[in-house]
Structure 1
Amino acid sequence: MRKIIIGFAALLLTVVVACSKKNSTPDTSIATPTKELDFHKYAIMGLDSPFISIDTGNIMLNSYLNSIQNRTNEVKSFIVDADALRYYLQNTNIKHVKLMLAHKLSYVRGGNANQYAGMDYNAMTMIIAGFGSDYDYIYSPQGAVMDFSIPCPNSCPGTGTAGQNTLQ
């Protein structure tokens, strides 16, 4: 269970880093938030910060990766479309995001419902659902939550620093 939690923490760090990566030229096709966000309090990366250093992230990632080094079908990460995540999180009532492991629908429909699959990337996905300060789920305007995460090692980037299993 601890390994799964560490894996989720590493995944969340990867999502945060990917979503916060700045382009050298501004993307004017993305709407700017109506409310100015103040994340400066997180800059100190203290105990109450949701951010960790790259070195700390790599310690956590390497621990998980070393624990699965002889298991080729194990999930190393999930990749989520940043535009879809931004669209979903534009609802400022969402205060937290819950990352939930699930079986892929193809795995379930393939006759494997309720069957243990470990962390086999052929069977696993991640569902993302936001919830508010009242702890109730908040759905997209269409009444949905996010899926279609892409499991890695099956669909990892082939180039760039994101093609690595640790933070570069």
Structure 2
Amino acid sequence: MKKYVFVFATVLSFISACDTKKNRNNQNDTSESTARMFSRFIPMDSANKMIGSYLNSIQNTDSNLQALIIDMDQLRRYTDSMATTSRITHLKLFFAHTLKYINAGHANQNAGYHSGAFTIIVAGYDSAGNYVYFNGDNVLEYLAPCPPNCDLGKAGQPFLTN
């Protein structure tokens, strides 16, 4: 369970980059986000402490999942495509096995920390708690597992850096 809490926190840090223009322009103003019960901004040193705890808790091999990377263009496409009456106010992140892992005969089997077996399904919902789908009945999936997809400059490192 602890690994899923950490993965959730990591994914939220990636998703926070998709915040509104107002919040992108006022990155130092955290009063709104810190007053919320969840989805808050935290300092880089706190995030690195959390990341380090997770990495130290797993056997750090090339097959263990360290992070999941979401394509922000796809996420924006999903959140920006809705009519104002169906505006997405929250994103729900579902832990899931990849179809490749399931179709290889591993349905309902614990995947442990293995990269490529774990993914997150992203589904938006509105202020009334109703799911908002993309183009009828689609939700977002296919986060790139790290490893092996980690080699992107500073973002390829296991910790946050300036």
- Scaled by the length of structure 2, the TM-score of the pair is 0.81
Q: Which amino acid aligns with 1:84?
A: Q
Matches within 5 A, 1:125-144: 125-144=119-138
Aligned match of 1:44: 30
Matches within 5 A, 1:101-112: 101-112=95-106
Distance 1:164 1:41 in 2: 23
Deviation, 1:71, is 4.9
Distance 2:152 2:107 in 1: 35
Aligned match of 2:113: 119
Q: Which amino acid aligns with 1:48?
A: A
- Scaled by the length of structure 1, the TM-score of the pair is 0.78
Moved more, 90-99 or 143-152: 90-99
Maintained 8 Å contact 1:7/1:61? no
Maintained 8 Å contact 2:44/2:160? yes
1:164 aligns with 2:150: no
The 1:11/1:41 distance shift into structure 2, 3 A limit, reads closer
Matched residue pairs, number? 151
Q: Which amino acid aligns with 2:9?
A: A
Maintained 8 Å contact 1:94/1:132? yes
Deviation, 1:11, is 2.2
Distance 2:70 2:153 in 1: 17
Q: Which amino acid aligns with 2:54?
A: Y
Matches within 5 A, 1:1-168: 1-17=1-17, 19=18, 37-39=21-23, 40=26, 43-44=29-30, 47-48=34-35, 50-90=40-80, 91=82, 93-156=87-150, 158-168=151-161
Helix, strand or coil: the match of 2:63?
A: coil
Q: Which amino acid aligns with 2:16?
A: V
Distance 1:74 1:162 in 2: 17
The 1:69/1:112 distance shift into structure 2, 3 A limit, reads closer
Distance 2:101 2:2 in 1: 25
- Structure with higher helix content: 2
Unaligned runs of 5+ in 2: none
Maintained 8 Å contact 2:62/2:148? no
Output one character per residue of 1:11-39: Cα deviation in whole Å (capped at 9) or x when no partner.
2113324x47xxxxxxxxxxxxxxx8543
Percent of aligned pairs with the same residue? Answer: 38
